């Protein structure tokens, strides 16, 4: 042993003998920290010591929350060099270097600081480990400058140019391996500074530029009342940080091993970490998902659209929902005559190659872009920062609320076409409105007289004169607009339960105290009068505990509304895809929901007076009552079969991509087996807590079906089970459910079981199950297996591909 090493061992031995129990929140050069000792911050919030994650035999020096169950780790020192053996020592040398040593006195990690007098190491209540020294004391090193996977209040994400620091998060490799993983979260200062998530060197998420209130791509962070965010940019550094507005609330952000950044909140009244928000949250959060000059929206279908004045570069791929090639300009620019088209409420395009000019008005920014023939778009970021783009516009998304305004350069002929279309629409509206208003006036007079007589004679009962023929006469309550407006507080935004492709759904309370859900079809709804009639007629005739109950409808002027029983727990997708709510669904409750949906679907297929094919079965169309009982809803696209009919054909494919069977999506063929496929997709989503369109293997780009299939073949399907499910689940039941799910999503419709067989398989362990074949649509790049609801595809567009 060398003299230096011997000196260290002797010094440490003396220090360990001198140190007894907890050394408090500080460490000096005379009191090293050994295996069984920890530092605890003054307020008892954080603790520093040695830990071994999961079932690992390796040890690390880290910081964790002291009093919170499971003691989440927030920082790890020796991520690349774990400790082995029973002797682990943290030593602060007399000249101010912090060393992590093993039993042989080998240095496994160090702060690489020196030449300091009176060094002191202290763990603060912010979770920052601070090394100071000198007179007066100055900071020699701090853990906040070297984050692991966790972003704490007061920590900075960004760059310090003078100190040559790049503060960014790096994910753990796995939950039991804190070594650096594949994903990082940090700031790119080029162009306009933004924060990105990277997988290796590839971008997977982008925040958008800072606009004075928050990141352009995260309008939900601007005014939240819980956290306050700060962005600082000067000649010395560029960073952003956050603080909690309530000191009794603990906050942290973590990038996990799958590349998702979760911002978590723990209050004194909580028993778990609640997810405040997370990214990427939906398909539009994925970086450049619609390619160059494309824009993404979750409000419409398909979710990817070309910017005004642009057209798909590869139309065939675009029709198949493969949008990576993006869009190209339809008409070439002419610098002297070009103009700008405003696009509102957007996440501004990637600014890494953009240029900026400060202290500009909107008009000055416009002039700046107009004078530069290479300028393709401009935006005023904040109050006076002009951003101009000189290359393709990448990673744009549209918001319902929030976002910024982007002005896109277009040829004058394109702008003329837009103005002409707008003018034609106005003239058409005027031409149509005058005779329509006249007709409506006469109709209203007649209708008022009819309603007055009808209410006097029959009360509020509606016959088929409103929605159907005499052959389908119904006794269904008719609600007037006045009562619906009163029930929903005049369709207040606060009453909106959700918004689908057919319009918003409001919560309401009738005069008799009943709570209802009001589905109001928007005037430009995808669902037309035929679908409206279908939904009314079908649901009124169908009665089953696992089908939603229709209480009535309202038809006045152009308004069409359906009034349903109110489901207190909203829809299934709000639970299984929400990391906060998913823990409320234990194994037995998930199994009950699966079986309940299966029985409701069996009733539609076999036991009702009508044989019904739903055609849009998905998690968002499964409602949950106060006891979490599932009820199938949304029958606007359903079809009925005659006696002896087993399948139908259509050129108008409607439904949700990712849930549609191959024969239906590609050929328009629908049957009971197409509903079975949708049920199988949903079953696997309930088990895994993952959406089918989530890419689970970046190298192979397979979706949930493909991932479940791979794990099944390897006998590892339990690895896909949602983490929040208790470990006390019956393994045989879980395996059976996975097998039933895979049987339902087999590529060949003839291989799939009927719903009668599915109910039997799920309810009895004595039934022998066949081995499943390969599922349909499990490679995301070549399928329509993406969540693009509501969708409508014309089969002639798909022929020959």
Catalytic center residues = 616
Secondary structure of residue 783 in the 3-state scheme: coil
Secondary structure of residue 414 in the 3-state scheme: helix
DSSP H or E segment with residue 423:
helix 412-458
Task: Enumerate residues 6+ apart whose C-beta is below 8 A from 52.
Answer: 58, 59, 60
Burial of 324 (0-12, 13-18, 19+ CB in 10 A): middle
384 vs 234, 240, 319, 358, CA distance in Å? 16, 20, 40, 6
- What secondary structure does DSSP assign to 194-239, as a single string? EEEEEETTEEEEE---B-SSSBTT-GGGSS-SSEEEEEEESSSEEE
Using alpha carbons, select from 762, 756, 760, 766 the residue that is nearest to residue 734. 762
Using alpha carbons, select from 344, 333, 354, 362 the residue that is nearest to residue 297. 344
Instruction: Please say whether the beta carbons of 259 and 183 come within 8 A.
Output: yes
Quick one: the chain helix, strand, coil %, rounded to 5? Answer: 25, 30, 45
Using the structure block, give the residue that is written with the tokens 């003239």.
427
Count, residues in the chain:
801
CA–CA gap between residue 192 and residue 214 (Å, rounded) = 14
Residue 746 neighbours by CB distance under 10 Å: 24
498 pairs with which residues across the strands?
505
231: Cα separation from own chain's centroid: 25
Using alpha carbons, select from 525, 528, 452, 518 the residue that is nearest to residue 484. 518
Using the structure block, give the residue that is written with the tokens 């003396």.
14
CA–CA gap between residue 397 and residue 299 (Å, rounded) = 11
Using alpha carbons, select from 602, 601, 441, 610 the residue that is nearest to residue 540. 610
Using alpha carbons, select from 664, 603, 661 the residue that is nearest to residue 778. 661
Q: Strands of 120-168 (E only): list them.
A: 120-123, 129-133, 138-142, 150-151, 157-160, 165-167
Task: Enumerate residues 6+ apart whose C-beta is below 8 A from 215.
Answer: 194, 195, 207, 208, 209, 221
The alpha-carbon radius of gyration of the chain (Å, integer) is 31
Using alpha carbons, select from 515, 522, 520 the residue that is nearest to residue 553. 520
Bridge-based pairing of strands 294-296 and 396-398 is: parallel
Residue ranges in 640-754 assigned as alpha helix (H): 662-667, 672-688, 704-713, 731-744
Residue ranges in 580-730 assigned as alpha helix (H): 587-602, 662-667, 672-688, 704-713
């Amino acid at each position: 042993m060398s003299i230096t090493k011997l000196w260290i061992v002797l010094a440490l031995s003396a220090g360990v003998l001198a140190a007894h129990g907890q050394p408090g929140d500080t460490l000096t050069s005379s009191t090293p920290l050994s295996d069984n000792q920890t530092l605890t911050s003054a307020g008892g919030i954080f603790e520093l010591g040695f830990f071994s994650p999961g079932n690992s035999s390796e040890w690390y020096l880290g910081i964790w929350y002291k009093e919170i169950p499971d003691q989440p780790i927030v920082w790890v020192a020796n991520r690349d060099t774990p400790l082995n053996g029973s002797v682990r020592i943290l030593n602060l040398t007399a000249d101010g270097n912090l060393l992590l040593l093993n039993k042989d006195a080998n240095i496994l990690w160090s702060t690489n600081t020196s030449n300091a007098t009176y060094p002191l190491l202290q763990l603060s209540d912010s979770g920052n480990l601070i090394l100071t020294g000198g007179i007066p004391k100055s900071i020699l090193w701090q853990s906040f400058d070297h984050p692991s996977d966790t972003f704490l209040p007061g920590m900075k994400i960004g760059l310090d140019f003078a100190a040559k620091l790049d503060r960014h998060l790096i994910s753990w490799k796995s939950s039991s391996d804190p070594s650096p993983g594949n994903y990082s979260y940090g700031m790119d200062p080029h162009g306009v500074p933004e924060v990105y998530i990277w997988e290796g060197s590839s971008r997977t998420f982008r925040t958008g530029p800072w606009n004075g209130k928050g990141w352009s791509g995260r309008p939900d962070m601007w005014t939240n009342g819980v956290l306050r965010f700060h962005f600082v940019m000067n000649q010395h550094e560029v960073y952003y940080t956050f603080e909690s507005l309530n000191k009794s609330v603990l906050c942290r952000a973590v990038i996990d091993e799958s590349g998702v950044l979760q911002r978590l909140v723990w209050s004194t009244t909580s028993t778990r970490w609640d997810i405040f928000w997370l990214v990427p949250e939906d398909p539009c959060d994925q970086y450049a998902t619609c390619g160059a000059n494309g824009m993404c929206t979750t409000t419409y279908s398909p979710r990817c659209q070309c910017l005004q004045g642009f057209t798909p570069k590869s139309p065939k791929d675009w029709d198949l929902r493969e949008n990576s090639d993006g869009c190209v300009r339809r008409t070439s620019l002419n610098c002297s005559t070009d103009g700008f088209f405003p696009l509102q409420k957007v996440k501004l395009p990637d600014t890494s190659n953009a240029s900026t000019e400060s202290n500009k008005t909107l008009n000055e920014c416009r002039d700046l872009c107009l004078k530069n023939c290479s300028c393709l778009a401009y935006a005023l970021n904040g109050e006076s920062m002009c951003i101009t783009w000189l290359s393709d516009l990448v990673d744009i998304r549209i918001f319902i609320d929030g976002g910024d305004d982007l002005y896109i350069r277009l040829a004058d002929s394109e702008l003329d076409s837009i103005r002409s279309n707008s003018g034609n629409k106005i003239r058409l509206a005027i031409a149509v409105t005058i005779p329509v208003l006249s007709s409506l006036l006469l109709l209203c007079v007649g209708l008022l007289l009819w309603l007055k007589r009808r209410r006097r004679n029959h009360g509020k009962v509606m016959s088929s004169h409103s929605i159907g023929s005499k052959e389908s006469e119904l006794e269904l309550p008719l609600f007037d607009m006045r009562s619906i407006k009163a029930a929903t507080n005049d369709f207040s935004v606060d009453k909106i339960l959700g918004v689908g492709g057919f319009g918003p759904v409001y919560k309401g309370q009738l005069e008799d105290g009943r709570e209802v859900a009001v589905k109001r079809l928007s005037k430009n709804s995808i669902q037309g009068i035929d679908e409206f009639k279908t939904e009314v007629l079908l649901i009124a005739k169908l009665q089953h505990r696992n089908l939603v109950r229709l209480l009535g409808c309202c038809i006045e002027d152009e308004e069409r509304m359906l009034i349903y029983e109110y489901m207190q727990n909203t829809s299934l997708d709000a639970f299984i895809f929400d990391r906060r709510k998913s823990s409320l669904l234990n194994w037995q409750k998930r199994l009950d929901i699966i079986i309940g949906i299966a029985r409701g679907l069996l009733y539609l297929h076999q036991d009702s007076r009508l044989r019904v094919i739903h055609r849009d079965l998905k998690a968002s169309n499964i409602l949950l009552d106060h006891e979490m009982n599932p009820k199938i809803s949304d029958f606007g696209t359903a079809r009925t079969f005659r006696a002896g009919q087993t399948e139908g054909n259509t050129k108008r494919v409607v439904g949700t991509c990712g849930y549609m069977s191959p024969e239906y999506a590609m050929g328009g063929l629908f049957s009971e087996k197409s509903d079975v496929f949708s049920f199988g997709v949903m079953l696997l989503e309930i088990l895994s807590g993952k959406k089918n369109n989530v890419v689970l293997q970046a190298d192979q780009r397979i979706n949930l079906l493909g991932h479940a299939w791979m794990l099944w073949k390897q006998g590892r399907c339990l690895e896909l089970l949602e983490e929040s499910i208790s470990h006390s689940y019956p393994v045989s039941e879980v395996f059976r459910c996975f097998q039933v799910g895979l049987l339902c999503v087999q590529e060949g419709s003839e291989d799939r079981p009927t719903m009668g067989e599915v109910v039997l398989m799920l309810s009895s362990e004595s039934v022998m199950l066949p081995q499943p074949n390969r599922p349909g649509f499990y490679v995301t790049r070549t399928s329509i297996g993406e969540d693009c609801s509501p969708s409508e595809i014309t089969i002639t567009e798909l022929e020959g591909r």
